[in-house]
């Protein structure tokens, strides 16, 4: 059921578009360009699942290892009806850059199944996950490629995956996936890690400007694990979260939502009932200090970028700004804190989980959070310094840093000619 896609024509189209300017800035040779604009391995799967009715349905599955120069692949698995190979390639590319930027010993990977799990029973979700692991087994490993949760997957999913891997392998390998339940070797602090990392980054941005979060107005698109916990944290730290949305509805409260109201709503999986109803489209164009896209890709596009009024965009979703919208945002002097640093808290704590699994250690939540703050804040402050006075170029500068680190690792491995000094 494996199909290794190796054709040269299978470059990552969106990655190539993003990288073209970076290639020029870094001075990449034609060979280096060819190495970076396509994944090292793309695998497609047929994923058969027995439904509760007894019917067998077959879904398309994917796993892409974009680059492994810095270490084994690392990246999530998502279950979503819009999953396709091009999307997975692009997200794996972003993971490679993210890991390089925050100096983790990982390459970039991503995977998923083209499926809408919203109508699945829990038993069907379990059978889907176990079937997917049966296909993934030959191409992953704790020193090869390590999956994690993503859209519509969580620690329960990871529990099914690690158990199925153990069944096939014949012995326990807890480091094969991260984001697991604590009882199966998961790390304290992993559930809130992406949100906490984003909050640390936003606080560091304002500190760099000799300012703070107190009273800053924030609109958050996406009230899942990431957006919901971020709303609680930012409110706790003095910001005013004035708008929140999920896929069904959006709410606006000019004076901000109370922390307790947000926390209660998060616990039941629905946006707060307080405030007035608005649309998701209206949320993206509110006059706020900070806009946080924390849902899915390409929410800010060429069509709506001119209407965005936030001063800062904190990208907590992966790739929420389409490439054709970036020039408009830059012209408006909107600072975009890119996903490759803004939402890196999740992969950083996944790394901590991987380290704990392999060393037999167990870290407290306090240790995990302190190490996360040190790691992500240090990387972001370095990025701010390198960007100088023009902080509308953070994505571009971050890509340059990440690409240079990946190319240096490729040369050190002997895959590319070494530079002559």
Closest by CA position to 401, among listed 129, 93, 73, 97: 97
Closest by CA position to 61, among listed 139, 113, 134, 135: 113
Distance CA(368)–CA(330), nearest Å, equals 35
Q: How many CB atoms within 10 Å of residue 116?
A: 12
Closest by CA position to 304, among listed 318, 288, 321, 289: 321
**Given the structure tokens 């890991």, which residue do they identify?**
99
**Considering all CA atoms of the chain, what is the largest pairwise distance in Å, rounded to the nearest integer?**
66
H runs (alpha helix) in 304-393: 326-331, 339-342, 345-359, 365-387
Distance CA(361)–CA(34), nearest Å, equals 41
Check if 332 is active-site: no
DSSP 271: -
Q: CB neighbours of 390 closer than 8 A, spacing ≥ 6?
A: none
SS3 state at 119: helix
Distance CA(178)–CA(277), nearest Å, equals 37
Task: State how beta strands 276-278 and 73-80 pair.
Answer: unpaired
| Complete DSSP assignment for 249-268 | -EEE-TT---HHHHHHHHHH
- Which is catalytic among the residues 89, 98, 110, 180? 110
Are 19 and 96 in contact, with CB atoms under 8 Å apart?
Answer: no
Tell me the two tokens of residue 294: 């924390």
- Catalytic residues, which ones? 110
């Amino acid at each position: 059921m494996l199909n290794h896609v190796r054709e040269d024509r299978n470059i990552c189209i969106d990655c190539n578009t993003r990288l073209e300017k970076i290639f020029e800035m870094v001075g990449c040779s034609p060979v280096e360009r060819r190495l970076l604009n396509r994944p090292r391995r793309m695998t497609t799967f047929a994923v058969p699942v027995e439904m509760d009715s007894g019917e067998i349905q077959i879904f398309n599955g994917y796993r892409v290892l974009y680059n492994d120069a810095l270490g084994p692949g690392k990246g999530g698995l998502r279950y979503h009806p819009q999953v396709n190979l091009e999307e997975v390639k692009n997200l794996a590319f972003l993971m490679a850059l993210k890991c390089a930027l925050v100096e983790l010993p990982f390459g970039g990977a991503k995977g998923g199944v083209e499926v809408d799990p919203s109508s699945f029973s829990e038993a069907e979700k379990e059978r889907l996950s176990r079937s997917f692991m049966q296909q993934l087994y030959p191409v992953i490993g704790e020193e090869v490629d390590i999956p994690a949760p993503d859209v519509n997957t969580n620690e329960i999913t990871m529990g099914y995956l690690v158990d199925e891997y153990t069944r096939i392998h014949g012995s326990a390998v807890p480091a094969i996936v991260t984001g697991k339940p604590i009882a199966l070797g998961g790390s304290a602090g992993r559930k809130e890690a992406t949100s906490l990392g984003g909050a640390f980054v936003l606080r560091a941005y304002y500190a760099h400007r000799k300012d703070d979060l107190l009273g800053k107005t924030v609109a958050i698109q996406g009230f899942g694990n990431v957006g919901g916990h971020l709303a609680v944290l930012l409110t706790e730290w003095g910001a005013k979260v004035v708008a929140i949305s999920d896929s069904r509805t959006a709410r606006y409260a000019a004076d901000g939502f109370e922390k307790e109201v947000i926390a209660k709503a998060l616990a039941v999986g629905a946006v707060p009932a307080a405030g007035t109803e608005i649309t998701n489209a209206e949320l993206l164009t509110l006059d706020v200090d900070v806009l946080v896209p924390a849902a899915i890709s390409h929410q800010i596009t060429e069509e709506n970028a001119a209407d965005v009024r936030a001063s800062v965009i904190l990208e907590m979703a992966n790739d929420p700004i389409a490439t054709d919208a970036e020039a408009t945002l830059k012209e408006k002097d909107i600072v975009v804190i890119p996903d490759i640093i803004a939402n890196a808290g999740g992969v950083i704590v996944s790394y901590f989980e991987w380290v704990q699994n392999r060393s037999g250690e167990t870290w407290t939540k306090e240790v995990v959070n302190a190490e996360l703050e040190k790691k992500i804040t240090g990387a972001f402050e370095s990025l701010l310094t390198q960007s100088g006075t023009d902080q509308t170029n953070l994505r571009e500068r971050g890509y340059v840093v990440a690409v240079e680190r990946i190319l240096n690792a490729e040369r050190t491995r002997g895959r590319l000619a070494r530079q002559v000094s």
